[in-house]
Amino acid sequence: MRSNRPTGFASTLDGVNLGLTLAACIFVGFGLGWLADRKVGWETPWFSLVGALVGCAAGMKEVVNWCNRSGRSRPAEPGSDVNRRDSDKVSASGDEEP
């Protein structure tokens, strides 16, 4: 089965694109907050702070979406069979499997 993941230089460009997207989300959020601070006339940068935090959240959402699109799986949940070693598996009757 072939993977859809890019390799080599394409993989590098994909990572750079993700980093630039994350940075752009943060800067746009901060910039909109800064404009709101100036419009209101506040000397404290509350809107700038909130805008930067919203930008971080938007950037992280984009990272999660990118990971889902590219086929990268999330870590298995604790207690699932994926995390169990072969020596830890127990059959339905309660006996340990060989």
pLDDT tens per residue, range 7-28: 677 777 877 888 899 999 999 9
**Is 4 a member of any domain?**
no
How high is the pLDDT of residue 96?
53
How many residues comprise the chain? 98
Residue 33 inside a domain? The answer is yes
33 within 8 A of 52, measured Cβ to Cβ: yes
Largest CA distance in the chain: 72
Q: Is the pLDDT of residue 86 over 70?
A: no
Residue 63 inside a domain? The answer is yes
The number of domains in the chain is 1
Residue 5 main-chain phi, psi, to 5 deg: -70, 135
Q: Tens digits of per-residue pLDDT, 23-71?
A: 999 999 999 999 999 999 988 899 999 999 999 999 999 988 888 877 6
Residue 27 within a domain: yes
- The answer as to whether 12 is a domain residue is no
Instruction: Determine, yes or no, domain membership for 28.
Output: yes
Residue 86: CB atoms within 10 Å: 7
Containing structural domain, residue 63 = 17-70
Query: How far is the C-alpha of 64 from the C-alpha of 72, rounded, in Å?
Result: 10
pTM summary value: 0.61
